[in-house]
Structure formats: structure tokens, C-alpha cells
Amino acid sequence: MRKIKQKKLKLHVKIGDTVKIIAGDYKGQIGEVTKTWAKKSKILVKDINMKTKHIRPQQEGESGQIMKKEAPIHSSNVMLYKNNSNP
């Protein structure tokens, strides 16, 4: 049986780095990386790519809610603006 060599996944940005969006609806905006997914090549940038989610009321008499939540964007759409992870 042959061993399959797995490639180590690596992103060009890390948590805590400041990035500039270079493509998409938020082009030109600057934010901080809060979470990364190396397998999907996606990152979560603080206060960028906000999506709206409508939540139904769970009990009778309760009102529904509208939540704003950050959605991940592809790492190829951002460029490193300032490296904050190294002291």
C-alpha cells in the first residue's frame, strides 16, 4: 500500500493581519483578519462582507430578529496591508 503525501495548506495572511480588499463589492476597504480556513482558502475580515439573516420568532408573542453577520471571502481577493501578527 502506497502512502499518499499530503500537501501542507498555507495562506498568505494570518489571524490578526490587516488586509486590503482588492476585488469584489468591498474593493478598497481595509480590515483585520479574525478567522481563516486554509482548506477552503477563505478568510473572515472584521466588519467586511456583512450579510443579513432574518430569524423567525421561536415562541408565540416573541418578535423576529434581523442579524448582521460577517461572511467569509476568498483569500485571493485580499492583499496584506500591514503585518500585525509579528511583534
| Distances from the Cα of 26 to the Cα of 8, 56, 63, 65, 74, angstroms | 30, 29, 32, 25, 12
pLDDT tens column, 10-41? 899 999 999 999 999 999 999 999 999 999 99
Average pLDDT of the chain, as a whole number: 90
**In the predicted structure, residue 57 carries a pLDDT above the cut 70:** yes
Q: May I ask the CATH class of domain 18-82?
A: mainly beta
Contact predicate 19/45, CB 8 Å: yes
Angle at alpha carbon of residue 43, lines to 41 and 45, rounded to 5°:
160
- The predicted model scores a pTM of 0.78
Q: What is the pLDDT of residue 43?
A: 96
Closest CA to 26 of 46, 10, 52, 42: 46
- Mean pLDDT lowest for which of 2-11, 53-62, 75-84? 2-11
**In the predicted structure, residue 55 carries a pLDDT above the cut 70:** yes
List the chain domain ranges. Answer: 18-82
